[in-house]
């Protein structure tokens, strides 16, 4: 298990990609913006970027409305 900080909160996660982690939060990787260790992670690369122990993520998800 990895220890992550996500939006200021501590999380435990299985090793994998950012996209896999986002899906584990029941979010769609196509509808989020992710900052990974202080740098914006391109949405097109979320499935390719592996998480490491101690990573810091800021995740913003888009909500539609009217």
Q: What is the DSSP string of 1-66?
A: -EEEEETTEEEEE-S-BHHHHHHHTT--GGGEEEEETTEEEPGGGTTT-B--TT-EEEEEE-----
Per-residue confidence (pLDDT) for residue 63, from 0 to 100: 72
Per-residue confidence (pLDDT) for residue 1, from 0 to 100: 95
User: Domain coordinates of the chain in residue numbers?
Assistant: 2-61
**Contact by Cβ (8 Å): 39, 46:** no
Per-residue confidence (pLDDT) for residue 41, from 0 to 100: 97
Sorted by sequence, the CB contacts under 8 Å of residue 64 that are 6+ apart come out as none
- Is the predicted pLDDT of residue 65 greater than 90, yes or no? no
Write the pLDDT tens digit of every residue in 7-64: 999 999 999 999 999 999 999 999 999 999 999 999 999 999 999 999 999 999 877 7
- Is the predicted pLDDT of residue 66 greater than 70, yes or no? no
Q: Read off φ and ψ for residue 57, nearest 5 degrees.
A: -120, 140
The correct answer on CATH 3.10.20.30 for the domain covering 2-61 is: yes
């Amino acid at each position: 298990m990895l220890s992550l900080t996500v939006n200021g909160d501590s999380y435990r996660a299985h090793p994998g990609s950012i996209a896999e982690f986002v899906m584990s939060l029941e979010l769609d990787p196509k509808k989020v913006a992710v900052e990974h260790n202080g740098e914006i992670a391109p949405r097109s690369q979320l499935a390719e970027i592996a998480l490491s122990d101690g990573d810091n993520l800021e995740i913003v998800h888009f909500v539609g409305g009217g």
